[in-house]
Each structure stands twice: as C-alpha cells, then as structure tokens.
Chains A and B, each alone.
Chain A
Amino acid sequence: MLSTDDKKRLLQEMLFARRFEEACYQGAQEGKIGGFVHLYPGQEACAHGVFKAARPGRDYAITGYRDHIHAILCGADPKAVMAELFGKETGSSKGRGGSMHIFDVEHRFMGGYSLVGGPFPLATGIAKGIQLKGDDDISICFLGDASNNQGTFHESLNMASIWKLPVLYICENNLYGIGTRIDRSTSELDQYKRAAVYNIPSAQADGQDVETVYEAAKIAVDHVRSGKGPYFLELMTYRYRGHSMSDSNAYRDDKEEKEWAKRDPIKILRDRLIAAGDYTMDEYKALDKKLIAEIDDDIVKYAEESPEPDVAELEKYVLADNDPYVRINLGGGAS
C-alpha cells in the first residue's frame, strides 16, 4: 500500500513529467528541438507506478523512443535530458543521441532505442548478465503493444522463459502502433495472453491509475527478483499526442480521445487525494505553477544556453579510444 506521502510524491512527479513533456512539445513547435519527439502525456502512471515498485537507479531499465520520463525516473538529470533534445554537448548523450536515444548508464538507464521491438533481446541479455553475476537486480523492459508484433518479442520471451532470466517486460498498451489501431494490426488484443504462451506469468492492469499499476508491478517485481524468472505486465493506457511530433493524429476520433481524457492519470490521483482530505486544489495549482516555472527557468534555459558539440569531435565515440588489442602484438611474436 502506498502512503499518503508516497501518493503526493507520485502526483508531483507525474505532474512534473506532464509539464516536462509539454515543454518538449513547445520546443519542437518552436523549432528548437529537431527530429522526432515522442511524448508521454497520458501514460505517466505506467512508468511511475512500475518504478515505484522497483529500485530505480539500481535495477536496469531500457525502453523504446518514448524515453524521456523513464530516464528521469531512473535518476537522469532532467536538464541533461532536455539538453539532449536540444542536441547540446551537455545532453545525456552529448548531443549524439537525441530524443529517442537518452542514456544514463550511471543510473542504469540503458537507453532508448528506435527500432520497434529492438530492446526486447537487449533487456533479456541484461538479465542474462545479472544471472551470471548472481546479483539480485532485475532488468525492466518498457515497450508498447505494437512491438509485440516483432519477432524479437517472441524470440526474447522464449529465451527468457527457458533460461528463467530476471527480466520484467512492461507492455504499455496505448492501443496504437504509430497510426494503426491495435484491432487492425493484432490478432490477439490482450497482450498478456501472448506472453502466457511462453509459460511466462502475466497480468493486465489499468495503466491510468498509478496505485493499481504500483500494486500490479509489485507482484511482478517480487516475482522476478525472487529468481522465478520473467514476468509480463500489460498496462492499458493512452497517449494524448500523436505518435511523434510529425503525426497529425487524424486516425483517432474525438470521442475516443475524450473518453480517455476522463481517465487522466494525474486527475485520478489528485482527485482521490482531495476526496480523502489529504490535498487541496490550491496546493495542486501552486505545485503546477512552481513546476512550470522550474522547467522554463531552469531546465529549458539550461538546454538553450548550453554549447553545441564541437564539429572537430564528430568522430569521437565511434570506437573505443586507444584499445590495446587494436595495434599491439602481445606475446607470441609478430604474425
């Protein structure tokens, strides 16, 4: 059970995530952020509830291109994440990655990847590494429903199951694969059933209610950490914006969007706290104002004012620097 303080902190973090992503939208609209930008509003309860149940910064996490908030929840500095979106040298990937490739390895956020389904084997391999080392960490893989139509889903779940690897697959089912609705692309709508065929325990939960997510994730995390092998958790959710900035969102009807807006994850938690007498609308409004100011004055400003990478360092980071095995004959004499 989450305490009132936990819930208040989650509300603050989810609202921060919402405003952070809106600032990204703004930056992209103004042309300050280039490339594709995939935003998280609507889905906040998923990552927040799961990380609340895990050990962010210590458990390994990996995801697709909708990655800003997952990185921040692992411990990435939001300034470095925003600077990365701006393509700056101070960015988390030194401006070489961009919105879709946020990394913070120190906090064990193992990256955002932009090939749909690509992280499935990577997360599974991280779990293999954990198993070899004998640690009690777990590997958490966050991906969308559409990635389950890639071969990597089936291949990776199969291997995770046969080798009992400590990997937790989180499926954030937002009902759309780019612009194609799930019932037009996928023969089985319930994604957790697809995991079950690999003999992986799985469940489906409401991804709009962070408390529900937390409770479901706790069962999942405990299962994986106890050495029982992988687990698959499907969270039913919805994204408010298009797939990415270039998406007009014309494939969804207003009615569907309005229905989902009623179940906004931030409103659900806020109204529950207010109804319980633990919180007021004034406090919420003050918090919102403070977060917006912090993001504008602190985070976006930092990104804007940071230097760009030096073109002279274009070829840095392609290969390891001065690796001894590249040039030196060691032992045995020259060939």
Chain B
Amino acid sequence: MANLMYWQAIRRAHDEEMTNDPLVIAMGEDIGVAGGTYKATQGLYEKYGPERIMDTPISENSYTGLGIGASFIGVRPIIEIMSVNFAWLALDQIFNSAAKVRYMSGGQLTAPIVVRSPGGTAHQLGAQHSARMEKVFMGIAGLRVVTPSTPKQAYGLLKSAVRCNDPVFINEHELMYNLKGEVPDEEYFHPLEGSDIVREGSDITLFGYNISVHWSLQAADILSKQHGIECEVVDLYSLSPLDRAGIKQSVSKTHRAVIVEEAEAMVGVGSEVMAIINEECFFELDAPPVRVSAVHVPIPFNHKLEQAAVPDAKDVVKAVLASLGKS
C-alpha cells in the first residue's frame, strides 16, 4: 500500500489509463504546460504530449462539448473543469449532449466522458468560487455522479469512470487534494455504484460524502469518547444513483439518521436521502431524520461568515445529540 495524496492518486489514475489506452486523453485549462491547478496531471504533458494532454482555451462549454464529440468515436476524454463554479458554463453540453445522447439515439451513441471538477468552500474564495454543485448534476438522467472521500476512491473511481460507457461527473473538493491515504499498489477499480460503511455503529447512521465523510468520522469519534454514542458512518460516494439498499440497510439497523452535506439543504443530497428513508424504511425510524447542511446563502468572503455558512463536525455532534434527545 502506498501512502498517496489525493492529487497524486488522481494523477496516477490518469497516467495508468493513458498508458493502457492511446485514446484516453485529458483536457482542461492549464493542465499541460502549467501542470494542472491541483497537479492532477503533473508531468503528463511531458510524457504524453500536447495532443493527449490538451491545454484548452477558457471555453468550458465548448471544450467539454469537444470532448463529448470525440467520445462519440471512441476517445475517452478526462475533462478537467478547474472549479465547479465554471461547470455552470458547460452544463449545456454535459446535460443536453452527453447525458441524453444514448437515450435520444435509441442506444446508438454514447458519450463515455469523465468530467472532474473540484467544488466546495475553501479559504475565502468568495461566492463565485465556492459552489457545491453536486445536487445539480444528481438530478440528470443519463449521467453518473461520484464523489471520492479518500485517495483510494479518487484513484479507483477515476479509473472506473474512464472505462465505464456512461458519462461520469466526479465531484472533487478544493480542500482535499493534499489529503493523504492508502492506495493499493496494484491496479484497482472502485465500483461506481453503492456506498461504503466506513465506521460501524448501532445507535445512529451518519450519511456523508466527500468532505462531509470526514466531518462525520470526527463527530463519531467525539460522540463515542465523550457520550458513549456509537455512530455508523456511511460514505455515499455514488450520488447518482444513490444506494437505496445501503441506506435502507443501515437505517434499519440504527433506526436514526443524520445526513451531512456541505451544500445547502434545499433540493440536495440530504433531501433525497430523507426521501429514500421515507420510502424504504419509515416504520424502522425511532426519530425523524435530520440534515446538517449549509445555510442558504451565497458563500461570503469574510472568514467568520464563511465558517458560519457551512457545517462542520461540531454541528454533526449537536444534531446527533438532538436526535437522541440528549441536547
């Protein structure tokens, strides 16, 4: 097992997939000569050249569409969008072309692209660089959405996404590229569907994804040590489709649920998970499920305001105690 940073794991997946298949290419702003804003393609321009590590103009919608068109004839593009906030500009091509082409062609054509992009609130980047957009992508039929919480997932999910025949959006996080973790030395493909139980517990289930898995684990630790509450933590690395069976299984065991998300509650992951709990195991519940989410505001610049806008482990602890009637 190698101990890699999240960005190194993503870089390794690029390198292996590009070695494996000459039609795998990477494209995006500053990914080549400049080495990538988050180093995900560092050194690969020198290794694979400008035709396969493509520095694109700042034209998100059309370079994404260009990748989609190339994928129609066998190319497997890994498209980096430097910040998920810029992905708004590419939604036309991702939603109208990539996600719908298999359906509207009656199965004749498919767009096996990967779009990777970091979202999330980082350090005072302001309203237009702090979006959390996973909820937007989740609602689109024909598109898979995954979001890695560890370097191992970042590596294995990207490798599977490249080989999968569906378009896949990978939601990364600006604050997680330097996160360290173990990645298998041998080649590894992570399943694109499902969820992982990352901590077993019997009292309550915390559902997280991406960075909120870490808040949930921190909260579970505090709750166990200080309150004797054993939380089960479920990592929803696949946001579309959501793992209905996994959600049902855990809630049926613990009978309580808290959904932890960095995004605003409105029309979000939490609301979807709550709906699934409602549909699948309502009568198993001992308490109403609770969401820990961001405040419904554009992310402010001021550091204190920024921190107040998004949740953290302390908010998860409070929500769990409230759910168990201990606050």
Contacts and interface: CB of A to CB of B under 8 A. Distances in A.
A115 B152 CA distance: 39
Contacts of B67: 125
A118 interface: yes
A122 B59 contact: no
Q: Do most interface residues of chain A lie in helix, strand or loop, or is the interface mixed?
A: mixed
A131 B161 CA distance: 24
B142 A130 contact: no
A101 B109 CA distance: 12
A91 B108 CA distance: 12
Given A110-B72, A125-B72, A323 B65 contact: no
A111 interface: yes
Interface string A78-105: 0000000000000111111110010111
Contact of B62 (A129, A151, A320): A151
B61 interface: yes
B72 A126 contact: yes
Contacts of B193: 326-327
A318 B71 CA distance: 17
Nearest to B188: A332
A155 B69 CA distance: 14
Contacts of B194: 327
A269 to B, nearest CB: 33
A133 interface: yes
Interface string B39-71: 000000000000110101101011111111111
B124 interface: no
B325 interface: no
A128 interface: yes
Given A155-B57, A327-B191, A129 B75 contact: yes
B187 A332 contact: yes
A94 B41 CA distance: 41
Contacts of B107: 94, 316-317
Given A317-B103, A318-B141, A129 B74 contact: yes
Contacts of A318: 102-103, 141-142
Interface residues of A, number: 59
Q: Which size class do B's interface residues fall under?
A: 35 or more
A31 interface: no
B96 A132 contact: no
B87 to A, nearest CB: 15
Contacts of A118: 65, 92-93, 96-97
Contact of A96 (B103, B160, B196): B103
Given A92-B106, A320-B165, A333-B184, A326 B192 contact: yes
Given A159-B59, A325-B191, A333-B184, A103 B109 contact: yes
B109 A122 contact: no
Given A118-B93, A125-B70, A132-B75, A320 B59 contact: no
A156 B56 CA distance: 11
Nearest to A94: B106
Contacts of A132: 22-23, 25, 51-52, 70, 75
A323 B241 CA distance: 14
Nearest to A151: B61
Contact of A130 (B73, B92, B189, B191): B73
A141 to B, nearest CB: 10
Interface of B: 22-23, 25, 51-52, 54, 56-57, 59, 61-75, 92-93, 96-97, 101-110, 141-142, 144, 150, 152-153, 156, 160-161, 163-166, 184, 186-194, 196
Given A124-B65, A320-B102, A330-B188, 15 more contacts: A105-B105, A111-B109, A113-B97, A118-B96, A122-B72, A155-B61, A325-B191, A325-B192, A327-B193, A329-B190, A331-B186, A331-B189, A332-B156, A333-B184, A335-B190
7 contacts: A93-B105, A101-B105, A110-B72, A115-B97, A123-B69, A132-B23, A319-B102
